[in-house]
Amino acid sequence: MSILVVTGTGTGVGKTVVTAALATLAAARGASVAVVKPAQTGVGRDEPGDLAEVARLAGITDTHEFARYPDPLSPAAAARLSGRPALDLADTVKRIQDLAESRRLVLVEGAGGLLVRYDEEGTTLADLARELRAPVLLVADPALGTLNHTALTLESMAARGIEPAGVVLGSWPQTPDLAMRCNIRDLEMLAARPLAGAVAAGAGTLHAAEFLLAARSGLSPTFGGVFDATAFRERHGI
């Protein structure tokens, strides 16, 4: 069994698409995979959330959402405003560990970034990852401003003893600008390793068969893809 936590340098950086890509490649290798979204915010009771997007792209149905709040806020703030119970860390850890007992891979997608709060006591995705003893894959925005956000997230992970699984660019455009091209080498320096992937912008709009190809080309062999960080850096980097 294996558990991998997926977080981002912020909201809207491509965490869900990267999570779907990871699930797609695992399923293509014949692995049993479950995807967990501990807390979904900004979505009504009968509306599709992030897991619906993962299911559409990856073609899997083994998805699990533990809490849902209608307001597009942090889980802690959304729970407070809705009057609903906040996510319980111990219960969440147990439920994910139970899933991992019968799956080869469990993917856990966080809300927002690593230190976004799930409850009024300040529990974060970092606490969840540490309790699960799971590595964390960081999805980064390739654009100007990402270096500070990435550095702070990686430093927070190191300070908490969390194992980094790498950095993936969540939405790489067909025509990257100067800052994006320069950021490639700097992000690799921050991570102290080559990029673990760069998923093409717009991949989330593809059909399942097309998305499988995008996942393969966008993620490194570590995750079942063919992304070559050296070739990518030589082609785009400055």
User: To the nearest whole number, what is the mean pLDDT of the chain?
Assistant: 97
Model pLDDT for residues 81-111, shown as the tens digit of each residue: 999 999 999 999 999 999 999 999 999 999 9
pLDDT value at position 1?
63
Let me know the angle formed at the C-alpha of 214 by 62 and 42, rounded to the nearest 5 degrees: 50
Which tokens sit at 45? 């009771």
Q: From CA 190, how far away is CA 203, in angstroms rounded?
A: 26
pLDDT value at position 123?
97
What backbone torsions phi and psi does residue 215 show, to the nearest 5 degrees?
-65, -45
Per the CB < 8 A criterion, the answer to whether 114 and 7 are in contact is yes
Radius of gyration of the chain from its Cα atoms, rounded to whole angstroms: 17
Q: Which amino acid is at 111?
A: A
- Domain borders along the chain are 3-232
Supply the DSSP symbol for 61. -
Q: Which amino acid is at 67?
A: A
Q: Which residue's entry shows tokens 């698409």?
A: 17
Is there a catalytic annotation at residue 37? yes
Superfamily (CATH H level) for 3-232? P-loop containing nucleotide triphosphate hydrolases (3.40.50.300)
The active-site residue, picked from 15, 37, 68, 216, is: 37
Q: How confident is the model at residue 18 (pLDDT cuts 50, 70, 90)?
A: very high
For the cut 90, the answer to whether the pLDDT of residue 137 exceeds it is yes
Q: Which of 44, 18, 31, 61 is nearest to 214 (CA)?
A: 18
More confident residue, 219 or 46: 219
Q: From CA 206, how far away is CA 37, in angstroms rounded?
A: 22
